[in-house]
Chains A and B, each alone.
Chain A
Amino acid sequence: MAEGRGLTPLQLDALREVGNIGSGNAAVALSTMVDKKVLLSVPRATLVPLVKVSDLVGGAETPVVGIYLHISGEASGSMLLLLEEKSANQLAHLMVSGGEQGELSTVEQSALQETGSILAGSYLNALSQMTALLLRPSVPGFAMDMAGAIIDFILVEISQSEDYVLVIETQFDILEHVIKGHLILFPDLGSLDLILGRLGVSG
């Protein structure tokens, strides 16, 4: 993406639609996993300047949970699910019944990691199907730390090509809880153009 570039509303809509379909698949998988009704929705897809990503979750020092996947194949990049600490805790306690409030146990951490993996995988599948591109996710990495610290190495990987990243807001509705997260797609050079072209909304 050249500097100052934006996406048209039509392009963002197309990407949000991919998010919706991916979320549908993820919701089914998560519902089965936790044996509770899980609704997933995608309120918004936006293009955010790289340096503003940590502002999405309240600034560079805000404690967050990050689940990171590297994507390889016909298009490449990184995907990061960011959950604010409170949301991550809620989600973990819902996933692992009988879990105690407070610090995350190892079991809860792996439940979160699995959730991130399912979510990212479902989104990737949807993207893969709609674009007929082969996309392979890596094993997910997991970290709980300051938002800025979690994001900065991904900036390194793509700062040489892109100035903006695609942020797909996700919302989990589990029982009476509403849990908000950000699924962030960092496409490598040329990958976003390729994806948009395959979705039939090239610029």
Chain B
Amino acid sequence: MNPIAWLGELGRAVLNLLAAFGRVALFALDAVSHIFRPPFYPREFGVALLNIGWLSLPVVGLTTIFTGGALALQIYAGGARFNAEAVVPQIVAIGMVRELGPVMVGLMIAARVTSSIAAEIATMKVTEQIDALVTLSTHPMKYLTAPRVLAALITLPVLVAVGDIIGIAGGYAVATQNLGFNPAAYLKNTVDFLEPLDILSSLVKGAAFGVIAAIMGCYYGMHSGRGAQGVGRATKSSVEAAAVLILAANFVLTGVFFSL
């Protein structure tokens, strides 16, 4: 391929990428703006709270308890190389609260909730239910997107807080049962070491990841192609996009909180 054609291809790819970012950004702004503009749909919001928040608790709990336990073992094994085994409670706490809790919960929500939202809305689109909503004078962004985004914004920080606590509990269980740590000392070290900014960063990350997960599900659902293949592609793409954006947002937010 000659260099000019190669540059053309590169330029086209970059422009397509920027256009995609633009479309998602406009969709996100539209979705968020509908949260504040009536009419509101409390029933849809309640269902979304239940689906995104309450029903995600088991997967969040299981994911974070195993992560916390594994983290304690890793830190103990790594710390032993330079006689720093005693830092297990502190590193488990900071690792779970600042990083692993929000990221694990965010990724599990991307897998569980983003896929579910995308598949549901995409199916509604291919079966003309979205058109039916419009003909029934109901704005799909208000009825489908706004309640889900608001519910994710509210529930994700709570899920992350629960995940942080369960993750720390997993580390505590492993450290006290297998590694010989004193339970009271472990808890004291954990509580003493954590700072309000650590908890704030965890909750802010949770809220940001929740919005990303819900918006990606809604965006790909609303822009699904036709038929079963369209629904499948929308679901797959929504999870990929949500996971990548969550990790990118995590990097950015970590940098922001690191600089505070």
Real binding pair: no
Residues of B within 8 A of A (CB): none
